[in-house]
């Protein structure tokens, strides 16, 4: 990354009053607790700051990566030679109007689910417990327990490649299983409007509690992970394939196939990104050899090789 470009970007951040960190370990900003340093982390609080930072980065040849709370992210051990735009609690306002909720990209799904509960709004219960942000959830059409973001998403506010802020109807995002057209269009998600329905607060609370208990019972929540490591292959369940291949508990370095849920690769202590990558590759090879099924990663892998 060009040093002059970084200096310009940091000068712009200071002028905007935007918080930043230099050479910050990404293990402190991912749920895997893994990852080398990023050249710069930026923590914008407004759409104006985001637009100005993106414009400055492009003008000065600085590579820019946008993340939420790092819940679906594996960062390489050498880190990221880039500026990282962090959409987190600094940019996380949630507002309710009738039976719709607008949430900025950095709002956690837990926060939005609790807001829906407080206003007796139903439809988002499936997302309770997903450890991500609204921006990331929209970006990948996150889902669980039979629900997906596309079921409740009305529209998304984005910053386009032309640095215009636009509201895009959900129907134009080609939402599918763990997919949206947002990456290929180069959009940066700023916020999302969710269309919910009035419901019974006791029933909503009960469903959320039920799903939370299922997560505790079935998922290795006590260990750092990035959630489900592999996408669900058509006609199969990734975790069952890994388990049936005899890989439950398989360990490489500090990385392990969870003994509680084989769809999760976990950091049992001191795991490196390479440990995780080697274990991913091992699982893919064994499943392919035994069942002829190709496992694709759901977790996003970024950084220097």
Supply φ then ψ for residue 55, to 5 degrees: -60, -45
Q: How many CB atoms lie within 10 A of CB 239?
A: 20
Please, what is the angle between helix 3-16 and helix 47-59, to 10°? Answer: 160
Number of H helices, E strands in the chain: 8, 19
In 224-294 the beta strands, taken as DSSP E runs, fall at 225-228, 251-252, 255-257, 264-267
Closest CA to 74 of 303, 301, 304, 305: 301
- In the numeric block, which tokens belong to residue 103? 């949430």
Per DSSP, the residues of 132-183 read SBHHHHHHHT-EETTEEGGGTEEEEEEE-TTS-EEEEEGGGG--BTTB-SHH
For residues 180 and 170, give the distance between their C-alpha atoms in angstroms, rounded to a whole number: 9
The catalytic residue among 92, 155, 225, 228 is 228
22: annotated active-site residue = no
- In the numeric block, which tokens belong to residue 101? 């909720």
Q: Is 163 left (phi over 0), alpha (psi -120 to 50) or beta?
A: left
The catalytic residue among 63, 114, 178, 207 is 178
Supply φ then ψ for residue 102, to 5 degrees: -110, 130
298: annotated active-site residue = yes
108: annotated active-site residue = no
The catalytic residue among 24, 45, 125, 298 is 298
Instruction: Give the active site residues.
Output: 178, 228, 298
């Amino acid at each position: 990354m060009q040093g002059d470009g970084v200096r310009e970007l940091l000068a712009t951040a200071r002028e905007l009053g935007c918080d930043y960190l230099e050479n910050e370990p990404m293990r402190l900003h991912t749920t895997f607790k893994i990852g080398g340093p990023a050249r710069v982390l930026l923590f914008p609080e407004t759409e104006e700051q985001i637009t100005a930072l993106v414009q400055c980065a492009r003008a000065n040849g600085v590579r820019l990566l946008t993340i939420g709370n790092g819940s679906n992210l594996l960062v390489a051990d050498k880190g990221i030679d880039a500026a990282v735009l962090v959409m987190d609690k600094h940019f996380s306002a949630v507002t309710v109007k009738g039976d719709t909720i607008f949430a900025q990209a950095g709002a956690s799904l837990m926060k939005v689910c609790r807001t829906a509960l407080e206003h007796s709004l139903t439809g988002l219960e499936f997302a309770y417990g997903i450890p991500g942000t609204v921006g990331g959830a929209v970006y990948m059409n996150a889902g669980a327990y039979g629900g997906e973001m596309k079921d409740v998403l009305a529209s998304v506010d984005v910053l386009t490649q032309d640095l215009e802020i636009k509201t895009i109807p959900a129907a134009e995002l080609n939402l599918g299983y763990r997919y949206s057209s947002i990456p290929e269009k180069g959009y940066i998600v700023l916020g999302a409007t969710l269309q919910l329905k009035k419901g019974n607060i006791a029933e909503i609370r009960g469903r959320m509690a039920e799903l939370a208990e299922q997560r505790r019972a079935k998922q290795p929540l006590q260990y750092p992970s990035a959630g489900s490591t592999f996408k669900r292959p058509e006609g199969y369940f990734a975790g069952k394939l890994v388990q049936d291949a005899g890989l439950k508990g398989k360990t490489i370095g500090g990385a392990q196939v969870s003994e509680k849920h084989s769809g999760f690769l976990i950091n049992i202590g001191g795991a490196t990104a390479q440990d995780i990558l080697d274990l991913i590759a091992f699982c893919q090879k064994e499943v392919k050899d035994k069942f002829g099924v190709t496992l694709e990663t759901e977790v996003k892998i970024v950084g220097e090789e």
